[in-house]
């Protein structure tokens, strides 16, 4: 990865993805279409194919909470290497009172896209609204440490924490919204959710749900004017359709699964970008399920699955086996928890727990067959392939897994009882991904703790990791969590996947970051699209 250039008018910025507008896909310049000799005009508008869209564009409800928006800015941002840099703040925070007070000074002259100035009152409004229990923000627990946020004049914001929280500064990439607009609406139902106003390099101009989102350069932007003047995100759920439209020239770029990205390798007019990620695929195993509620079933599945085969055959090598939520090269990863594919061991676990071979090769115990349904989101070929491979491995151990594709509207109400092929993972401090994944207090809270996992020792370790200041104490807590997931799994972790993007080779300054689960719309080589320059 290469470092971003520093502009005179603004610092290194991160924020991953989102976009800009053209009147429609047909009106946008496709690769090699309608450009000048130096490619300048053709490079001014871009069309990207992504697999999904957000439910809302309001940070008050969670959009862009990790800094991944082109419409908004946070107090801080992340650069290419995920290091924190000032954004709306002039510098990194001043920290006092043993890590309980964080003070930020705002940059002069910043305006929202409607021309109104940014003040400290907007920052206070944003954080207080997110923390308000009446606001439907399922990421509220990520700001649990905040006791109070207040303005000290028009340009200073002071956060007071309940307890020292080591990674708090990373949380202040949260996008800031204008109180004079959002404050007049219900944060849960107001039009701000689909008609946002922010300080970022682009503004939303069009959103056809399920089809595309369009953006254009923000005329009031406080930084340098982007060379890419407009940008469209075409929402194309089907991987194959996305690849076909890219190949036809209908798209300038797209996020693709490994097998489809490989078909563009010999195309001289396009480049493939590969980003490492924390993004894992796992099967949720609800403890409230009739079959998955048995720990022996969960442990047997953990042993029966062939992770390396999934990496080799499904991901074409673009990933790594996952033995927990943290990838094996993460500094917080606990060494020694790797589990080999062990079908014989899986059978021994089931035999010892009283699950005996039955009709059709499916085990049974006390009249209950070892059979359950595994859902995956329709149209997601990578998840479908993981689900089918998982079912095949489970069958060899005597467990029947019935794979079924469905929409999220069908899947979400079933999370407490049925297994789901999930995709999750957060970059940065381990608290960011593990707390919402595992803490029992968040079971049933949207897509937090999807497996309804409940382990008192894990809860205690999560709280220790969140509140601890001693790095060795925190490391020990996260080691205990990862070991507990071996002994009492609530998920079968399968793979950590690399993200692949294919784009027309018409721009310079494209880079990738280490990415979270959210990608395509929220990440990709276009995370810094405001820095792109047309190739000469």
**Which pLDDT value is given to residue 11?**
32
- For the record, the structure tokens of 152 come out as 């000290």
Position 13 pLDDT exceeds 80 = no
Query: How many Cα atoms occupy the beta-carbon half-sphere of 258 within 13 Å?
Result: 20
Phi, psi for residue 136 in degrees, rounded to 5 = -80, 65
Q: Do 375 and 416 meet the contact criterion of CB atoms below 8 Å apart?
A: no
> Which tops the pLDDT comparison, 9 or 39?
39
pLDDT tens across 372-398, in order? 999 999 988 899 999 999 999 999 999
| Rounded to 5°, angle at Cα 295 from 293 and 296 | 120
Pairing outcome for strands 400-406 and 45-50? unpaired
Domain ranges of the chain: 280-497
Give the lowest-confidence range in 284-293, 438-447, 517-526. Answer: 517-526
Q: Do 206 and 196 meet the contact criterion of CB atoms below 8 Å apart?
A: no
**Which pLDDT value is given to residue 521?**
77
Between CA 421 and CA 515 the distance in angstroms is 20
Q: Do 197 and 177 meet the contact criterion of CB atoms below 8 Å apart?
A: yes
**Which pLDDT value is given to residue 379?**
82
pLDDT tens across 473-503, in order? 999 999 999 999 999 999 999 999 999 999 9
pLDDT tens across 330-360, in order? 999 999 999 999 999 999 999 999 999 999 9
Domain 280-497 in CATH 3.10.105.10: yes
Contacts of 27 (CB under 8 A, 6+ apart): none
Phi, psi for residue 479 in degrees, rounded to 5 = -65, -45
Contacts of 490 (CB under 8 A, 6+ apart): 284, 285, 287, 298, 438, 451, 452, 453, 455
Between CA 306 and CA 300 the distance in angstroms is 12
Give the lowest-confidence range in 145-149, 234-238, 341-345. Answer: 234-238
Between CA 280 and CA 328 the distance in angstroms is 12
**Which pLDDT value is given to residue 41?**
58
**Which pLDDT value is given to residue 291?**
97
Between CA 203 and CA 156 the distance in angstroms is 26
- 185: pLDDT confidence band, cut at 50, 70 and 90? very high
pLDDT tens across 110-131, in order? 999 999 999 999 999 999 999 9
**Which pLDDT value is given to residue 10?**
32
How many other CB atoms are there within 10 angstroms of residue 139's CB atom?
20
C-beta contacts of 402-409 below 8 A and 24+ residues apart? 402/371, 402/372, 402/373, 402/374, 403/373, 403/374, 403/376, 404/373, 404/374, 404/375, 404/376, 405/375, 405/376, 405/377, 405/378, 405/379, 406/375, 406/376, 406/377, 406/378, 407/377, 407/378, 408/377
DSSP string computed for 406-453: E-HHHHGGGTTTSEEEEEE---SSHHHHHHHHH-GGGTTSTTTTTT--
Between CA 139 and CA 259 the distance in angstroms is 34
Position 33 pLDDT exceeds 90 = no
**Which pLDDT value is given to residue 339?**
93
Between CA 509 and CA 322 the distance in angstroms is 32
Phi, psi for residue 216 in degrees, rounded to 5 = -135, 165
> Which tops the pLDDT comparison, 139 or 75?
75
**Which pLDDT value is given to residue 300?**
98
**Which pLDDT value is given to residue 174?**
96
Burial of 511 (0-12, 13-18, 19+ CB in 10 A): middle
Position 35 pLDDT exceeds 80 = no
Burial of 108 (0-12, 13-18, 19+ CB in 10 A): exposed
pLDDT tens across 40-55, in order? 555 699 999 999 899 9
- 9: pLDDT confidence band, cut at 50, 70 and 90? very low
Give the lowest-confidence range in 20-24, 49-53, 261-265, 506-510. Answer: 20-24
- For the record, the structure tokens of 228 come out as 């890419």
- 513: pLDDT confidence band, cut at 50, 70 and 90? very high
**Which pLDDT value is given to residue 368?**
97
């Amino acid at each position: 990865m290469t470092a971003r250039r520093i502009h005179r008018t603004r610092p290194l910025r991160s924020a991953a993805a989102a976009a800009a507008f053209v009147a429609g896909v047909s009106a946008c310049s496709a690769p090699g279409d309608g450009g000048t000799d130096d490619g300048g005009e053709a490079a001014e508008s871009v069309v990207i194919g992504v697999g999904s869209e957000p439910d809302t564009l309001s940070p008050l409800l969670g959009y862009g909470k990790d800094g991944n928006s082109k419409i908004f800015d946070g107090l801080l941002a992340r650069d290419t290497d995920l290091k924190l840099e000032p954004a709306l703040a002039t510098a990194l925070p001043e920290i006092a009172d043993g890590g309980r007070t964080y003070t930020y000074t705002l940059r002069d002259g910043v305006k929202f896209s409607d021309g109104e100035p940014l003040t400290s009152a907007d920052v206070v409004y944003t954080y207080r609204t997110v923390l308000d229990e009446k606001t439907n923000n399922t990421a509220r627990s990520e700001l649990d440490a905040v006791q109070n946020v207040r303005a000290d004049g028009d340009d200073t914001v002071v956060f007071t924490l309940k307890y020292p929280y080591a990674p708090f500064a990373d949380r202040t990439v949260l996008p800031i919204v204008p109180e004079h607009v959002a404050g007049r609406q219900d944060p849960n139902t107001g039009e701000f959710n689909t008609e946002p106003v922010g300080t970022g390099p682009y503004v939303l101009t069009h959103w056809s749900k399920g089809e595309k989102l369009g953006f254009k350069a923000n005329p009031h932007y406080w930084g340098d004017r982007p060379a890419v003047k407009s940008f469209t995100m075409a929402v194309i759920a089907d991987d194959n359709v996305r690849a076909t439209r890219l190949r036809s020239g209908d798209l300038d770029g797209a996020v693709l699964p490994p097998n489809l990205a490989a078909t563009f390798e010999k195309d001289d007019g396009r480049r493939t970008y590969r980003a490492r990620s924390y993004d894992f695929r796992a099967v949720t195993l609800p403890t409230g399920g009739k079959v998955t509620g048995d720990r022996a079933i969960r442990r047997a599945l953990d042993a029966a699955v062939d992770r390396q085969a999934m990496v080799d055959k499904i991901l074409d090598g673009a990933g790594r086996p996952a033995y927990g939520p943290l990838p094996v090269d993460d500094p917080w990863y606990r060494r020694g928890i790797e589990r080999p594919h062990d079908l014989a061991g899986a059978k021994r676990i089931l035999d010892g727990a009283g699950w005996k071979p039955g009709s059709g090769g499916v085990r049974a115990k006390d009249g209950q067959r070892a059979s359950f349904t595994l859902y995956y989101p329709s149209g997601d070929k990578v998840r479908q392939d993981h689900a089918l491979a998982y079912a095949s491995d489970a069958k060899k151990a005597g467990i029947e897994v019935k794979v079924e594709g469905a929409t999220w509207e069908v899947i979400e109400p079933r999370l407490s009882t049925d297994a789901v092929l999930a995709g999750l993972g957060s970059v940065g401090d381990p608290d960011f991904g593990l707390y919402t994944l595992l803490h029992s207090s968040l079971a049933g809270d949207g897509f937090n703790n999807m497996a309804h996992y409940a382990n008192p020792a894990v809860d205690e370790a999560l709280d220790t990791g969140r509140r601890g200041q001693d790095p060795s104490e925190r490391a020990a807590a996260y080691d205990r969590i990862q070991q507990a997931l071996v002994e009492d799994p609530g998920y079968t972790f399968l793979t950590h996947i690399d993200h692949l993007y294919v784009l027309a080779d018409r721009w310079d300054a494209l880079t990738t970051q280490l990415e979270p689960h959210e990608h395509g719309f929220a990440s990709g080589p276009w995370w810094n699209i405001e820095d792109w320059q047309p190739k000469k």
